[in-house]
Amino acid sequence: MIIAVDGPAAAGKGTLARALARHYNYHFLDTGSLYRMVGFAVLVRGHDPRDEAAALRAAQALKPDLMHEPDLRSEKVGEAASIVAANLKVREALLGFQRDFASRAPGAVLDGRDIGTVVCPDAEAKIFVTASPEVRARRRHAELAERGEVVPFETVLAEIKARDERDRTRAHAPLVPAKDAYVLETSAMTREDALRAAIEFVDGRGK
Ligand code: CDP
């Protein structure tokens, strides 16, 4: 059983996907962290994330221990991630790992942008989590503040909009709901509401 959770930046995909994995006792993969690891590795080596050869080298030499890098969740790395993620070769380099992970028994929940469309088009349950840019910026702003990153709200909102634009308009694996995805609009929902709705949907798919 594969549960694909996709959606734009700071929509609450990670929180929801993790909670679903816990609920069903499935494996969980935050695929955004793979792109963040590539973005981080490129920046650390002093390269520009737009440098396609440098990004591909970083994707091919990805070290799992980068997963625990405290800076991975910073906005700077998020931006670099979304730039390297537009590179088809980088995406292809990360595909095999994601598909292998998805096939783990008894099931897996993957969250990202293209899980239901490209990585696992045959996933049994696809959820597209979204919320208005303002609500997402508020959530990200609070998340950053918790980590001690003080950024004006307007800056966070502008970055979220820029990242949405880049993710939605890129040529390869753009951010769009899969045709058979359940669209979960969480602007007016608590985390618990969103989890309840998602479980109802997955159970209805015959989990
Ligand atoms: O947490 P947040 O939603 O801000 O971002 P993320 O899920 O950590 O992903 C960071 C960036 O990686 C995104 O802006 C996407 O450009 C890219 N990404 C992707 O292209 N495909 C995925 N399956 C996951 C992330």
Measured by CA distance, the residue closest to atom 8 of ligand 1 is 32
Contact 178, 114 (CB under 8 A): no
> What pLDDT sits at residue 195?
98
Measured by CA distance, the residue closest to atom 16 of ligand 1 is 82
Domain boundaries, the chain: 2-202
Q: How confident is the model at residue 187 (pLDDT cuts 50, 70, 90)?
A: very high
Average pLDDT over residues 172-183: 94
CATH class of 2-202: alpha beta
The string of pLDDT tens digits covering residues 83-129 is 999 999 999 999 999 999 999 999 999 999 999 999 999 999 999 99
Measured by CA distance, the residue closest to atom 18 of ligand 1 is 32
What secondary structure letter does DSSP report for 67?
Answer: G
Contact 141, 153 (CB under 8 A): yes
Q: How confident is the model at residue 147 (pLDDT cuts 50, 70, 90)?
A: confident
Token pair 């159970």 in the structure block, residue: 203
Q: Which of 31, 35, 98 to mutate to test the pocket of ligand 1 (most atoms within 8 A of CB)?
A: 35
Q: Is residue 6 in contact with ligand 1, taking CB distance under 6 Å?
A: no
Gyration radius of the chain over CA positions: 16
Position with higher pLDDT, 205 vs 158: 158
Any idea of the CA torsion for 44, 46, 52, 55, to the nearest 10 degrees?
-10
The string of pLDDT tens digits covering residues 18-64 is 999 999 999 999 999 999 999 999 999 999 999 999 999 999 999 88
Half-sphere exposure of 79 (CA within 13 A, CB side): 12
Closest-lying ligand 1 atom to the alpha carbon of residue 140? 4
DSSP string, 64-89: GGGGG-GGGGSHHHHHHHHHHTT-HH
